[in-house]
Structure 1
Amino acid sequence: MRIHTPPQSPTEPQERRRALKTLASLIAVGAGGIGLAACSREERVGTGAAPGAPAVISKAGDKVAFKYPDNPSFDLIYLADQLGYFEGTGTRPQYVGKIAAPQIIPLVGTGEIDFGSRMVPLVISAIASGADLKVVAAGGKTLEEAPHMKYFVRKDSGIRTPKDLEGKTVGFNSFGACAEFVTKKYLREKGVDVTKINFLVVPDEQAEQSLVTGNTDLAIIHAPFSGRADRADQLVRLWSDYDLDGGLGGMAPYSAHGKFIREHPQAVRDVVVALAKAGNWVNANPEEARKLVSKRINMAIENVDRYAYVQDLVVTEPPIQYYIDILQSEGKIAPGKVAIKDVYTNEFNPFAATPAKT
């Protein structure tokens, strides 16, 4: 097992940085507000050669180095790296520093990072806005015993039913993702006026403290940090996303920049295979995985929630259609704007029985 030391992020011109910050800020205000520049039909994700200059990547010897965030989280890229699943391939991760969750998909869409893991609705909205990216591997899945996210309130809050949330503040990690759309769909089904709820962005690692101190009234927290909240004396868990939709909205896939896909198909295969091996290893060794993650995020292992992953990370269509329907009903994308096949491909996953065409 070998752990690679993350290299420093390459220096970028200030003007490019300002442009990227502007782009990332747009995604933070909601899936409907992504201001991504459209790309031409010829520059779309596909298997053919793309015109123009080669993708800007880093190299280490004869290896292709793909740019990836170095975030404190439960993530298969880090685990695959630690477990040695990139050894023997021509591909390795190049960690480019911490990137805030709302910025990940916009930066994949522009190619500033080559891969990223964020929820399906963010990818759909980015594609609808012209971003050049595609889901290449399924990621986490929701099980009753291993939810994707959990809902907590203070024990003394008096909040016990969905209707109790009207007039309250709900903290979640970003607009435009699972926490917003799964929650709003569920609350509306329970007769809640979601316009009477204040939604506030709070990073997962800070969500428990924000709730305890009264800055929020309900916190939606993702694994691994949800485990610590489960053990907090002042808090009580109301629901998980499994309770809300049976886990349909819990797939957390891995997406890649279109130009990187076109110009480095073998590297994409290497990454997808490494991810699939790591996901299957986590499913078979959940406690060992928790130990590795606990060291990475510097959290006591008893507070680290586990993750479950889609077998072989083969992408299926129901979770994608689920979010297309939600985004259309929320008025975030026009009907027919994005088709399922626009969102994903299993082309690079050798475990997929019938690879999808791009």
Structure 2
Amino acid sequence: MPIETPALPSRPSRRHALKTFASLAAAGGLGGALLAGCSREEGGKTASAGGAPAVVKKTGDKVAFKYPNNPSFDLIYLADELGYFEGTNTRPDYVGKIAAPQIIPLVGTGEIDFGSRMVPLVISAIASGADLKVVAAGGKTLQEAPHMKYFVRKDSGIREPKDLEGKTIGFNSFGACAEFVTKKYLRQHGVDVNKINFVVIPDEQAEQTLVTRNTDLAIIHAPFSGRADNADQLVRLWSDYDLDGGLGGMAPYSAHGQFIRQHPEAVRDVVAALAKAGNWVNANTEEARKLVAKRINMDLKNVDRYAYVDDLVVTEPPIQYYIDILQSEGKLAAGKVSVKDVYTNEFNPFATRT
């Protein structure tokens, strides 16, 4: 069953301690940027009708940006909890849980204003005419902190890429990292990917689906990959770091074009808060895991960590990597989308020093 997303409780003493800790971390890691002490305001959800881009709602002088309220390791939630939106004119307006495959399409139409999903989904959306752009780099893959991990049952007999022919692989969506990084790797090892059955399974359900033999291999993203690492029946074969050295692991944040044009200062607020939160997570991995464990109601030992690009400044090689893959897969015409079409660092206050 999908994990229910618990609301983060308001606990003034812990919140004050976290903000103090986060302020010190931000001051050291972000050139002395300090947190302001204004309190956040609560607001309602923003609705839209007829599939048209929703009108941005304001609460007082706060610009409310629409964002999914999903059970995940996500910098918007952490930035909010750490107080990085305080003292700005911007705040998140959580609009409920949204299935991973729907996030980028909804950013592209303006149903939500920001979303975090992998680069190939953004490229494909732009190629189809969607109005969105990557504004912050987001997560990265390290050997000790992969973006995604590959698991099989210990009794499956699957140990090599060729063993997967005729088997079923579960991942969280088509068109993203799990599909394209995996297919590229398997083809490099002589596997006929047309002989593999690929099915969509949400990350939080992937481990159980594998254990119950409904899939033969599960590709699971953090934080839920930690639970599979600790499952007695399963064994990890690879991580995405093993497959491509982490080049395909950038998980960026994208924004709807209309929101960018109408609210550039709000975009700067969001990107700055994301960058501060990402740097804080990199410097405080255990404290970050504790916050995520509370949010998704998971035992701390099962919560995998995330790593983030320094200052969340976007670089071009991870984008070109996916443009090349999409072209080789016949999903993107040559010249249809260039790297510069996909991203901007204009709203990142730390980009100029990188």
- TM-score, length-scaled by structure 2: 0.87
- For 1:227, what is the secondary structure of its paired residue? helix
Structure 1 residues 137-171: Cα deviation after superposition (integer angstroms, max 9, x where no partner): 00000000000000000000000000000000000
AA paired with 2:140? K
Contact preservation (8 Å) 1:140, 1:251: yes
Note closer, same or farther for the CA distance 1:334–1:87 as it changes in structure 2 (3 Å cut).
Answer: same
Separation (CA, whole Å) in 2 of partners of 1:119 and 1:11: 26
Separation (CA, whole Å) in 2 of partners of 1:6 and 1:140: 28
Separation (CA, whole Å) in 2 of partners of 1:190 and 1:311: 33
Note closer, same or farther for the CA distance 1:175–1:190 as it changes in structure 2 (3 Å cut).
Answer: same
Separation (CA, whole Å) in 2 of partners of 1:69 and 1:5: 18
User: Could you tell me which residue of structure 1 aligns to residue 257 of structure 2?
Assistant: 258
Contact preservation (8 Å) 2:40, 2:86: no
Contact preservation (8 Å) 1:157, 1:217: yes
Q: Does 1:142 align with 2:130?
A: no
Separation (CA, whole Å) in 2 of partners of 1:235 and 1:168: 16
**1:157-176 equivalences in 2 (<5 Å):** 157-176=156-175
Shift of 1:7: 5.4
**1:162-311 equivalences in 2 (<5 Å):** 162-311=161-310
Shift of 1:5: 9.0
- RMSD in angstroms over aligned alpha carbons? 1.7
Q: Does 1:105 align with 2:121?
A: no
- For 1:237, what is the secondary structure of its paired residue? strand
Contact preservation (8 Å) 1:55, 1:263: no
Contact preservation (8 Å) 2:43, 2:59: no
- Structure 1 gap ranges (5+): 21-53
Separation (CA, whole Å) in 1 of partners of 2:160 and 2:88: 51
Shift of 1:11: 4.4
Structure 1 residues 181-239: Cα deviation after superposition (integer angstroms, max 9, x where no partner): 00000000000000000000000000000000000000000000000000000000000
User: Could you tell me which residue of structure 2 aligns to residue 353 of structure 1?
Assistant: 352
User: Could you tell me which residue of structure 2 aligns to residue 151 of structure 1?
Assistant: 150
Q: Does 1:333 align with 2:332?
A: yes
Note closer, same or farther for the CA distance 1:197–1:132 as it changes in structure 2 (3 Å cut).
Answer: same
Shift of 1:12: 4.3
Q: For this pair of structures, how many residues does the alignment match?
A: 318
Structure 1 residues 6-42: Cα deviation after superposition (integer angstroms, max 9, x where no partner): 85544444x53xxx9xxxxxxxxxxxxxxxxxxxxxx
Shift of 1:350: 1.2
- Structure 2 gap ranges (5+): 1-14, 17-38
User: Could you tell me which residue of structure 2 aligns to residue 60 of structure 1?
Assistant: 59
- For 1:85, what is the secondary structure of its paired residue? coil
- For 2:219, what is the secondary structure of its paired residue? strand
Contact preservation (8 Å) 2:47, 2:54: no
Structure 1 residues 292-340: Cα deviation after superposition (integer angstroms, max 9, x where no partner): 0000000000000000000000000000000000000001010000000
Contact preservation (8 Å) 1:7, 1:96: no
- For 2:351, what is the secondary structure of its paired residue? coil
Shift of 1:353: 2.2
Q: Does 1:77 align with 2:79?
A: no
AA paired with 2:216? D
Shift of 1:58: 1.1
Structure 1 residues 241-268: Cα deviation after superposition (integer angstroms, max 9, x where no partner): 0000000000000000001001100000
